[in-house]
Structures are given as C-alpha cells and as structure tokens.
Amino acid sequence: MDKDLAPARCGQLRLTRAALLASVVLPIVCLVILAGCAMHSDWQKPPEEYARPPRADSLFAAAEQRIADRHGPDHSGFALLERGDRTLQWRLVLIDSAQYSIDLQYYVWFGDTLGRLMMFRVIQAADRGVQVRILTNSLSSHDVPAVNSHYQKWRQPTLETGASLHELRADAAVRGEIVDLAPLTAEFAGLHTKAMVIDRQRAFVGSMNLDPRSAIHNSEMGVIIDSPPLAERLAQRMERDLHGENSWQVILADDGALRWRSAAGELDRQPAATSCSASKTSS
C-alpha cells in the first residue's frame, strides 16, 4: 500500500465508524425521547376485558348443551391438539374409526411420508366401503402450482377405490363469500382449509397441511370436535363446495383417462389458470 495514502485511508475509516455509530445511536435516543413524551401523566390503564358469554341461540351453545346432557358439564366435546405429532396421530385415528363416510378438504397434500401415510389410510377406508369425498386445489386455484405435482399421481389410485375426488375451481361461485373482501376482489378462489368430517359425528379442523414443513418446522395445532350437530353443519358446507359451480369432479373415463367435469363443461386435461371457465370442452 502507498504510504502517502495510508493516513488518508485511516482517517476515512475513523470517519466511517463515527458515522455508523451515529446512525445506530441517534435513532435509539430519539425513540427514547418520543416514548417519554408519549407517557402523559393523565394516561390510565384501560379496563380489563373478558370474553363474552356464548349466545343462548348460537349453534355452539346448542352443541355444548347436548354434550353436557350426554357426558356431564365437565366434558366439553372439544380436544385441543397443540403439537404436530398429536395432530397427525389423531387424524389417523379418526380416519381408521370411520364406518360410513369421510369428507376431507386440504390445501396442500405433499407426496412425502406424512402425505403418503394419510392417503394410504384414506384409500384403506374407501376399500372397506367407507364413502370418501376429497376436495383439494386444482392447478388453476393453487397459489403454489408446483405443489400440485406432488398430489397428481394419486388421482387415479384414489378414484379406483370408488372415492370421489374434486378440485376447486378458480372461478368458484362461492368466491365472493369466502375470498373477496370488499372493496377488494380476488383474481381467483383458492382452498386453504384443513378439515375432515367422520361419519357426520366427529370433525377435525386445524392449521396443519400435509407437507414436511408443517410436520417438522411449523408450530401447528388442531381441534377435534365431538358434536354431531357441528359435524353435520361442516359436512353441509363441504358438500356445497363440491357442487359443479364450485369445483371440478375428477372422473376416470372408460378408456382409463382422467376427465375434469363441472357445471362449466368437461376437460380432458387438468384445469390451468387459462381454462378455469372451461370455454372449450371435450366430448
């Protein structure tokens, strides 16, 4: 290094350090001053607030009363699952307990160990005669289209068991109710539910997707609801989403090819973003 330039560079370095220190310290000092000014002497702590009691005419109140009449006042009928492993365990238990019907809605269904295990149990249930109906996102309704590739290989094996498979339409008629928030309008509808109903008696609702991140990294939770009235109500909402104006039913044609059928028509390939309205249909 040129000796004549060394002092100048050292001086620049000291100046840079001083500027850096000032950029960090001065904002902190200003925040402290502003916080002190904000603490007015007349400020009073707001009064304590408590959750409102349930309405006597609400669906939850009626369900709680039925549960209390059946099991006693100390049994709520709701089991909170605060860990991912317990959430997985109880979902498998619920699927295995099904005798008549399983209705599932899932945003993400990966092909990892967790996803394969859940799908295997669902297929087993269908094989033993349980009516299985599944709703997930179509390629057109998914905000992460790459995820769709993990699930698509299960379409045919699922349908071969007799299960009913549906994929949400991006232009679903319920979009205004479940997606749009005035004055904003969504470009497309997408499914974000993680729920199931078993025999219209028990239900599971939670935050855990069927993917590795939810199983390992995320903090997820769910709740099991032992209430036929609530399970019935949730199943009815799921049935609404299965209607042709809201979802595509994936069917297995006689030639072994997959078809997507809805109120908009029939497609011979999975609906992508440009085909959600099914302006072109195949016979």
Residue 263: the pLDDT is 92
Average pLDDT over residues 153-164: 85
Q: What is the pLDDT of residues 24-44, one digit of tens each?
A: 555 665 655 555 555 555 667
Rounded Cα gap, residues 228 and 232, in angstroms: 6
pLDDT at 79: 74
Provide the CATH number for the domain formed by 78-267 in this structure.
Answer: 3.30.870.10
Tell me the mean pLDDT in the region 244-266: 91
Show the tokens assigned to 215: 């199983």
Question: H-helix or E-strand containing 68?
Answer: helix 59-71
Distance between CA 255 and CA 45 in Å, rounded? 72
Residue 6: its pLDDT value, please? 47
Nearest partner of 137 among 150, 148, 149, 146, judged by Cα: 148
Residue 279 scores a pLDDT above 90: no
pLDDT tens-place string over residues 1-19? 444 444 444 444 444 555 5
Amino acid present at 164? S
Token couple for 23: 């950029």
Distance (Å, whole) CA 103 – CA 234: 10
Say what the pLDDT of residue 100 is: 94
Mean pLDDT score across all residues of the chain: 75
Whether 131 shows a pLDDT value over 50: the answer reads yes
Contact present, 59 and 233 (Cβ < 8 Å):
yes
89-to-52, 121, 215 alpha-carbon distances in Å:
33, 12, 11
| Whether the predicted pLDDT of 198 surpasses 70 | yes
Q: What is the pLDDT of residues 48-84, one digit of tens each?
A: 766 666 667 766 677 667 777 777 766 656 777 777 7
Count CB neighbours of 49 within 10 A: 6
Is residue 164 within 8 A of residue 117, CB to CB? The reply is no
Q: What CA–CA distance (Å, rounded) separates 165 from 186?
A: 25
The pLDDT confidence band at residue 184, using thresholds 50, 70 and 90, is low
Over range 94-120, report the average pLDDT: 84
